[in-house]
Structure 1
Amino acid sequence: MHKKKLKHTVNKAKEQSTMKKKNQNGKSKSIHDILPLDLIHIILLRVPIRHLARLRCVSKLWCSVVSDPDFAELHFHHSPAATNACFFMKNDTMADLVYLDDNDASQKEVCPPFQKKLPSNFSVAGSCRGFILFHRDPHFLVVWKPLTGSSKRISYSHIVHRSQHHGRRIPYGVYFHGFGYDASQDDYLLLVAWSDWKGQYHLDCFSLRTNSWINLDVAVPKLFFYYWHNGGLFFNGAVHWVPSVLMDYRDGIVIFDLKEMTFSTISAPEQLSRSCPSLALLGGCLTLSSPNNDFRNTDIWVMKENKVHSSWTLYRIPCKDFRPLCLSSNRDIIGSGYTSCGKTGYFIYNVRGDLLKHFKNLRCQLPSREPNIVYTVSLLPLPSDIKVKNNKKKMKKEIGIIDHGLASCGPGLWCSFEV
């Protein structure tokens, strides 16, 4: 499938490119005669995302390759090193993106797309393939791409009205959200679970491809509404939630499969502390972490084989409240927290529990507050961006002024490319 996409992208770039280069004799020579486009494509796929913005300016051909949605998909899956950032809200209007790797770290202040005339009260509800989902009680969600600044607002006031009885609001705690990607439909889905005034549970789903809501006819687990973590973790085609306090290890993790549209559960390790567990992804494996009962260490349980209970593997980190975020290139654990010695911030530990590095000069959201999420930077567009881009191309072709590559980008898609 990916080979077909590569061939399709290369052919498209060849058709679009009009880049010519003069040789010493003054004759026009194609850039393909100097460097084959297939080789250019392979090289660009290996370039870290933070450098691709500048490379777009090399030529219209390169801009055309990098701007193509198929290239974005291939780069997301095959780039040697993903650019991961820890995202957290600093206050009502500003947020921080913290980029971490083995040797260095940097921090960037960003302004999410909140309207100043509205009360802020936004919370982070999830992250998926380069996009962050925000929720604002009680009426709408915002999908935002920090890389470009583009965003999409989705109202669900119809759900709020359906949950009321004679104007009485149902408490905020009944709403839970999920954000994921259905590869079978090439669609991003937003989930809202809620309870009506009769105490009946419902799950609504918004499709970004069709720009519409649908009430899913599924049996929503009642225990789902005892879950404290508002946003779910997207992994392996499904959204995962974990409660603030484990009541039953057999139903420790609730899963909603975005393709099959069904709920299921995964058993947590019996030795996991019941207090404040959190979910993460480490090296493509589902991970549960929780403060140890001794209040000096954090237990990190990694599921080496998906949905195989016997594959839970324990790593103990000597940090009393540690939240794993991602793995370094050396397979060491990068996370945030604070130690018994009073150190706060971002740390790198190896799997034996040895502290390898402490990033001292970075602002850190303490785990006891709104949890950090890991945002993976990507070039991927939302389906609505692709539609707008194609409509603009069609319009320009009709009036005969299409510019190959540089003028074919949709609104917000490339206006502010900076990492």
Structure 2
Amino acid sequence: MKKKSIHDILPLELIHRIFLRVPAKHLARLSNNNDALQVRKVSPSFTLESPPHFEVLGSCRGFVLLHQPERFLVVWNPLTGSSKLISYSHIASGFKHKYGFGYDASQDDYLAVVPWQDKHGQDHFDCFSLRANSWIDFKDALPKPLGFNNWHSPGLFFNGAIHWVPSILNDYRDAILIFDLKERTFSMISVPEKLGRSSCIYSGLALLGGCLALYYRNIDSYKTEIWVMKEYKVHSSWTLYQISPTYDFRPLYLSIAMDLIGKRHTYDKSEFYIYNLREERLQRFKYLCFPGAFFEADAVYTESLLPLPSGIKDKDEKEEEKGM
């Protein structure tokens, strides 16, 4: 008797729906490659098994952007182990920890972008294309001298573009810088006009409930204020939420139930909180804190089995294949 396959029992559409509900880490176990879950080496001297050697800069579609100070960047899928090493030796002296990481769907390309200043104070904007395997300089396309030293380090990838905001908001006009990955163009949008009359420091951007959000410390009210742009690039859609009495609250995720998950830094640890916006109730996760941890970038990671764009492989991986 011929052995039946799953396709003989269930229709393809139903199989697809089932797989959509299965966590990516379980799907990875179905791979025929026994090495699929092994951590790959990314350089002769460093491995991804050594977290103190790397800084997490951001995440996009299951890939994480890592930084090995003064050496290189790494694009890495923790689930599959695939990785790509990126050297930035041509800008090493001017690398100011300003960066962004995103995906250009029109080209099936992942882009790592690094705004930086040279020794003469000249602004530069370099973009590394994983598909082209090369750096591109967009210095001439910058809208104006921006003074990148005043800008918040991590760029937020949203709606096909990377967004930055100054660490200290001195002016609400044209406060958020946007780099469109498909068009390779820059634009700027304003934050709520009310911010021009407030003392706002340590500002940053987050993606909350599928919307662009701006957060900062208000040193007048001693509150963390969060403005959510309900409609992208529609200035009138900015909506304010206040987190009180927590002064240094960094939002990470907003649930359907309006529970806002975030973290707060103290002098010796990072603590995680959940704040219900409807009930205005703050609760700390009792057992979730990290001694001595202080990170500028907060990467919300989603597991994925996506590969790097076809044809892109790290040098070490190619050499391994040649020796087989």
Normalised to the residue count of structure 2, the TM-score between the two structures is: 0.79
| Correspondences of 1:149-228 after superposition (within 5 Å) | 149-160=81-92, 169-170=93-94, 172-173=95-96, 176-216=98-138, 217-219=140-142, 221-228=144-151
1:42-67 CA-to-partner distances (Å, cap 9, x unmatched) read 2111223344345x27xx8xx9xxx9
8 A contact 1:124–1:231 mirrored in 2? no
Which has a greater percent of strand? 2
CA deviations over 1:221-265 (Å, ceiling 9, x no partner):
322413343221111111111111112211221111111111111
Instruction: After TM superposition, give the deviation of residue 178 of structure 1 in Å.
Output: 1.7
Residue 274 of structure 2 aligns with an amino acid whose one-letter code is I
Confirm or deny: 8 A CA contact 1:323 1:367 kept in the other structure: no
Letter in 2 for 1:247: N
**Which of residues 14, 37, 49 in structure 1 aligns to 2:12?**
37
1:148 equivalent to 2:80? Answer yes
Q: Equivalents in 1 of 2:151, 2:291: separation in Å? A: 18
- What SS does the aligned partner of 2:201 have? coil
Matches within 5 A, 1:6-405: 26-54=1-29, 56=30, 115-116=45-46, 122-160=54-92, 169-170=93-94, 172-173=95-96, 176-216=98-138, 217-219=140-142, 221-272=144-195, 273-294=199-220, 296-318=222-244, 319-337=246-264, 345-352=271-278, 354-355=280-281, 357-364=283-290, 369-384=295-310
Amino acid at match of 1:284: G
Q: Alignment length, in residue pairs? A: 301
- Distance in 2, matches of 1:376 and 1:227, equals 30
Unmatched runs of 5 consecutive residues or more in structure 1: 1-25, 68-109, 161-168, 393-410, 412-419
Distance in 1 of aligned mates of 2:23 and 2:256: 14
Cα distance in 2, alignment partners of residues 367 and 252 from structure 1: 29
8 A Cα contact 1:179 1:189, kept in partner: yes
Deviation at 1:333, TM superposition (A): 1.0
C-alpha distance in structure 1 between counterparts of 2:293 and 2:239, whole Å? 23
Per the TM alignment, residue 327 of structure 1 is displaced from its structure 2 partner at its CA by 1.6
Q: Which amino acid in the other structure matches residue 372 of structure 1?
A: D
Max Rg structure: 1
Query: Any conservation in 2 of the 1:227–1:241 contact (CA below 8 Å)?
Result: no
User: Structure 1: how far apart are the matches of 2:144 and 2:71?
Assistant: 24
What is the percentage of aligned positions where both structures have the same residue?
Answer: 59
Report the CA distance between 1:197 and its aligned residue.
4.0
**Which string of whole-angstrom CA distances, capped at 9 and with x for unpartnered residues, describes residues 304-358 of structure 1?**
011111111011112221111012242321111269xxx9622221223533643
Report the TM-score when normalising by structure 1: 0.63
Query: In 2, are the aligned partners of 1:336 and 1:364 still within 8 Å (CA)?
Result: no
Amino acid at match of 2:179: F
- Using a 3 Å threshold, how does the CA distance of structure 1 residues 264 and 48 change in structure 2: closer, same or farther? same
Looking at secondary structure, tell me which structure has more helix per residue: 1
Give the aligned residue type for 1:31: I
Structure 1, residues 167-197: CA drift from partner, whole Å, max 9, x if none?
xx55x43x63221111111110111223334
> Structure 1 residues 317 and 199 mapped into 2: Cα distance closer, same or farther (>3 Å)?
closer
Instruction: Report deviation, 1:368.
Output: 6.1
CA distance 1:226–1:338, shift in 2 (3 Å): closer
CA contact (8 A) 1:132 1:143 kept: yes
Contact 1:365/1:372, CA 8 A, preserved across alignment: no
Tell me if structure 1 keeps the 8 A contact 2:100–2:155.
yes
Deviations 1:76-126 (A, max 9, x none): xxxxxxxxxxxxxxxxxxxxxxxxxxxxxxxxxx999684499x7744332
Q: Structure 1 stretch 125-134 or stretch 288-297: which is displaced more?
A: 288-297
Specify whether residues 195 and 278 from structure 1 end up closer, same or farther in structure 2 by C-alpha distance, changes over 3 A only. closer
Shift of the 31–144 alpha-carbon distance from structure 1 to 2, 3 Å rule, reads closer
Shift of 1:285: 0.3
Pairwise CA RMSD: 3.4
- Whether contact under 8 Å (1:346, 1:364) holds in the other structure is no
